[in-house]
Amino acid sequence: MSEFVVVAENAQGRYQQAVTIGQHHLLADEPASLGGADAGPAPFDYVMAGLGACTSITLRMYAERKGIALTRVSVALSHEKIEVDGVSRDRIERTITLDGTLTAEQRQRLLEIANKCPVHRALSSSFVIDSALGS
């Protein structure tokens, strides 16, 4: 089981949140355009960071196992709302840059592997989120 992620208001700003993940302490906030102080990444930025990190790590692990000459992975992500069949949906655009002496086949295979990273799989399917009130 993974560690708990705890998020709580920190009284430092209108929407600022203290995020604790094990020994790591982060901030989350909304941009000024949404009434925040932009003191940290917005919540969706963390979603994209998780997807980007998972993608890069998954590709690195695969390249190491297969002996692929991948020298660097970079993942750029953006988020927008789009309409699909009259329904508003979230869309993440992910651009993966692969450096190294790679064949076209290796590059294609790495793209396929990127789409199998655990966070990509979770975001591409329907989550089950159970919510309860604490004491």
Closest CA to 70 of 114, 97, 101, 115: 101
Q: pLDDT (tens digit, 9 = 90+) per residue, 7-44? A: 999 999 999 999 999 999 999 999 999 999 999 999 99
Mean pLDDT (whole number) for 78-101: 94
Q: Distances from the Cα of 80 to the Cαs of 12, 94, 117, in angstroms?
A: 28, 12, 21
CA-to-CA distance for 47 and 43, rounded, in angstroms? 7
Q: pLDDT (tens digit, 9 = 90+) per residue, 112-124? A: 999 999 999 999 9
* Superfamily of structural domain 43-124: K homology (KH) domain (3.30.300.20)
Domain ranges of the chain: 5-34, 43-124
